[in-house]
Amino acid sequence: MLEKDLQKKAEGIFKDIGVLTTSFDYRIKGAKVVDLIGFTADDKGNLEPTVIAELEKKFSPLAINSAYKLAEDVGVNYFCIVTPKVVSWYEIKDEEIIPLKEPPTLKSESKANFKTEKLLSLIEFLRNRGLTEEDIAEVVADLLLIHFYLQKHRHILEGASFKQLLSWAQDEFSQLPGWVDDRHYEHIDLDYLYSTVKSWSIFNITGYTVVEIFDKILGGRRHANLSMPHSLRKLVGEFLKAMNTINNPTIIDPACGHAGLLNEVACNYPKPTAWGMEINPKISRFAGIVSIASNKAINIINEDSLGEDLPSHYIEGFDVVSTVPAFGVQLNKKIKPLLQETTTSDGDILWLSLAVELAKPGGVISVTVPEGVLFQAQKQSLRNKILEHCCLEGIISLPNGTFYPAASVKSSILFLRRKRPDISQPFEVFVGEIENLRRGKFDDEEIKEMIDTFSTYQKEVAIKQ
């Protein structure tokens, strides 16, 4: 059996008895090296060494004595000898080696989901060193990169410095958009950061978790997409799921922010192919980290989607388009959009037009717009153009303050379907109004009821593809 196969076998054995994470070639006391060490969590959630393994080509009594000495040096009570044919277990009790007929059962616990409350002390630590919210988000992004690097390689690299780990992680995920700034580390205790990221290894960090982390740190200061409440993202995702009939659709958010909405929409499907575009290089990097955590095929592009560089699938169009663009923005250039006969620099018109243009015939769209788009007299021609190219299947009116502080205007979400010859405007349109917004949160029961009602509407009224 090859060495890598033996390592894989030993890792599987450790996993079966409750080990949370492992490290190969674990160095102790100078030149001494343990072939494999397994960690479990103590009562406070910190990793502690629990068991070691010696990997041998053939079983030898000498290996038992060697492993016993290493186990004592590490401070663990269990060790095993792993060979291609035999696995033998031992317990150290009162300085004696006791052979075991069965492997020990350690404190078996699956990885719990990471709670963002664990970030509070880290955020306070970084804030006290003069870092802004965006600086803090960059440092946390680096810690997450290191976490995913260690998870991917399934071991902790003892002896590596924080800077080394960060460099390796950045190389591993070099495809991430945006750029890296390491000036934040000049006056930070790197040992503290190192111990922090190691403590995360016992947790499961998903795309939803990373979105919540950046929500908490950034708080909507830069982008309406950042301040979209989680329950509202869920509503949009469920509405689009009810509208779309493609099992593994192509999805795009042309103003994705940190990919909170994009992650929500993509995670409703087993194997979607998704793109997010974000003009801000730092925010696009945060979105890239969400894409790593989500385990979905989410591609983040640091580009201006109102420019010319759209993904190659743009030619065919996308099955699902979902976006929360910035409101009331005037561009420094004029563009002729699909939904208007003349050029304009009005961002509200351009974003809405882009969302429609990106959808393939039969594709579904959610786009958040200020209510002026729906009710202002001067926008009547725009509304006519929308209905010329799309079926309107739903409108959700949102309360004031939904996107505060990024935007304070009252807004609505439009749910559209790009027309094709066999699709026409349904006689009835679903209209809903969310009334309850308390401390930035919606009433979950109200959201659930609206999702259920819209799903029924799609089945009974709306024209399907």
Whole-angstrom CA distances from 375 to 64, 262, 381, 386, 411 are 80, 28, 12, 14, 11
pLDDT mean over 355-370? 93
Ramachandran region, residue 317 (left: φ > 0; alpha: ψ -120 to 50; beta: rest): left
pTM for the structure as a whole: 0.76
Give the separation between CA 208 and CA 31, rounded to whole angstroms: 42
pLDDT mean over 392-414? 81
pLDDT mean over 64-79? 92
pLDDT band at 413 (very low <50, low <70, confident <90, very high): very high
Q: Is the pLDDT of residue 190 over 80?
A: yes
Helices (H), 91-161: 120-127, 133-153
pLDDT mean over 78-106? 92
Helix axes of 230-243 and 207-218: crossing angle, nearest 10 degrees = 140
The better pLDDT of the pair 184, 82 is held by 82
pLDDT mean over 401-410? 68
148, 173 Cβ separation under 8 angstroms: yes
Joined together, the tokens standing for residue 410 give 């009252």
pLDDT mean over 442-450? 82
Tell me whether residue 299 is exposed, middle or buried, using C-beta atoms within 10 angstroms of its C-beta: 0 to 12, 13 to 18, 19 or more: middle
pLDDT mean over 122-128? 90
Least confident of 53-67, 333-347, 372-386, 444-458: 333-347
What integer pLDDT is reported at residue 465 of this predicted model? 43
pLDDT band at 405 (very low <50, low <70, confident <90, very high): low
pLDDT mean over 110-124? 77
What integer pLDDT is reported at residue 107 of this predicted model? 64
pLDDT band at 307 (very low <50, low <70, confident <90, very high): confident
What integer pLDDT is reported at residue 33 of this predicted model? 85
Mean pLDDT estimate for the chain: 84
Joined together, the tokens standing for residue 348 give 């509200």
pLDDT mean over 341-368? 87
* Dihedral pair phi/psi, residue 116, rounded to 5°: -65, -15
What integer pLDDT is reported at residue 155 of this predicted model? 54
Q: Of 201-205, 238-242, 459-463, which one has max mean pLDDT?
A: 238-242
Q: For residue 87, list its beta bridge partners.
A: 82
Q: Is the pLDDT of residue 44 over 70?
A: no
pLDDT band at 227 (very low <50, low <70, confident <90, very high): low
What integer pLDDT is reported at residue 417 of this predicted model? 95
Q: For the chain, what is the largest distance between any 2 Cα atoms, rounded to a whole number of angstroms?
A: 89
Percent of the chain topping pLDDT 90: 37
pLDDT band at 154 (very low <50, low <70, confident <90, very high): low
